[in-house]
Amino acid sequence: MHERATVTTHVTNDAVARYSFAGVRLLLAVEFLWAFGDKLLGWGLSTPTDRAWLNGGSPTEGYLSGVEGPFAGFFGTLAGNSAIDWLFMLGLLGIGLALALGIGMRLAAGTGALLMLLMWLASLPLDVNPFVDYHLVDAVLLVGLAAFLAGDTAGLGKWWSQRRMVQRFPVLR
């Protein structure tokens, strides 16, 4: 009797964990895709319509030109640079789509964690907590999601992992 209860508990806990991490993956996908859409179209919440990328605005200028912390000089030089704008927007879109579909999770985790760490550096000094904010939490979550194969649940990760190209280049997993 005890053995059956342990198996049932393990299966239940495993399913809860898999779907919880799939949910976190999808929430992060929305976070990245929303940022992309807002910067591209100017939905008026974070980016005013007249400052949208499609209307000639820069997706990096507003945020990076306002950096005040120890890295202000570095980030200030990146603000409004068209190459940085393109990298930023392609990063938001690519990471968001990879997370939404559950494919390319390793690349999404690496690039997403890097982007979050850079945004954390740009946020210093932090207003509420001297060290932790959502950028760091998101960076760690992204790495954990890739390690846990969160794209396999409610995503195309299993199918994607069977592609010849992905098997040849596991970083694409």
- What pLDDT digit, counting tens, does each position of 88-127 carry? 999 999 999 999 999 999 999 999 999 999 999 999 999 8
Report the alpha-carbon distance of residue 154 to residue 122 in Å, rounded.
Answer: 34
Non-local CB neighbours of 124 within 8 Å, separated by 6+ positions: 69, 70, 71
Task: Give the per-residue pLDDT at 19.
Answer: 96
Upstream peptide bond of 125 is cis (omega within 30 degrees of 0): yes
pLDDT at residue 159 greater than cutoff 90: yes
Report the alpha-carbon distance of residue 23 to residue 20 in Å, rounded.
Answer: 5
3-state secondary structure of 94: helix
pLDDT at residue 83 greater than cutoff 80: yes
pLDDT at residue 22 greater than cutoff 80: yes
Task: Give the per-residue pLDDT at 7.
Answer: 54
Do 88 and 60 meet the contact criterion of CB atoms below 8 Å apart? Answer: yes
Hey, what are 89's tokens? 């927007």
Task: Give the per-residue pLDDT at 96.
Answer: 98
Report the alpha-carbon distance of residue 75 to residue 29 in Å, rounded.
Answer: 25
Hey, what are 3's tokens? 């053995």
Task: Give the per-residue pLDDT at 11.
Answer: 60
Task: Give the per-residue pLDDT at 68.
Answer: 92
Task: Give the per-residue pLDDT at 98.
Answer: 98
Mean pLDDT computed over 68-94: 96
Judge residue 29's burial from the number of C-beta atoms within 10 Å of its C-beta, 0-12 exposed, 13-18 middle, 19 or more buried.
buried
Type of residue found at 109: A
